[in-house]
Structure 1
Amino acid sequence: MSKQLFNLGSVVATPGALRLMEKHSMTPMQFLQRHVTGDFGDLDEGDKELNNEAIWNDERILSSYKLNETDTLWVITEADRSSTCVLEPSDY
């Protein structure tokens, strides 16, 4: 198991994200574990590098996970590490 790289703060999920995870028989913990250990999902290399810098510079961290061709979930941790939200891109 990889090491946690930053604090998640309070964790919330939008109703749409919860429905999407249920549809795919997945749980928020599956995505939160990947996010907090630096597996930022389906981002390009430039965005992954920005996330790695954001960990140390106290900036917002965004992960994106494609569940299939049409369904994507985002996980966003705020810059102050007070909260993390699991959401669909359309919820943003």
Structure 2
Amino acid sequence: MNFEFSNSNRPKSLFPLGQVVATHGALDLLDRSATNAFALLQRHQAGDWGDIHPDDVTANREAVQHGFRILSSYPLGTQAERLWIITEADRSVTTLLLPSEY
């Protein structure tokens, strides 16, 4: 699935997302948890990377500055399943996926 974004009411973007795609598992989790994918993408792009290890926060900050891959992890639903968002180093693609689909 591909998404389009408008520039209205967006938080500051630290990096471009490129083409946004999602796996079937991610779409299913978003649907089951009634979660707005656009809101998570805006958090990811603004530097709110969810629930990640402090070392990953440091790595993401360096990635924003130096053009490496960026990872976010958000717990969703009543069973605290996780949704990952990964923006590739070249910023061509951002993928929403489950950790088991990596």
TM range (shorter): over 0.9
Relative to the length of structure 2, the TM-score reads 0.85
Matches within 5 A, 1:30-45: 30-45=39-54
Does residue 46 in structure 1 map to residue 70 in structure 2? no
C-alpha offsets along residues 8-56 of structure 1, whole Å, 9 cap, x if unaligned?
0000000110000000101210210110000000002111111011001
Relative to the length of structure 1, the TM-score reads 0.94
Matches within 5 A, 1:1-92: 2-67=11-76, 68-92=78-102
Aligned counterparts of 1:64 and 1:90: Cα–Cα separation in 2:
13
* Larger RCO, structure (CA 8 Å, separation 6 or more): 1
Post-superposition shift, 1:70?
4.1
List gaps (5 residues or longer) in structure 1.
none
C-alpha offsets along residues 49-80 of structure 1, whole Å, 9 cap, x if unaligned?
11011001110000001114441000000000
Moved over 6 A (4+): none
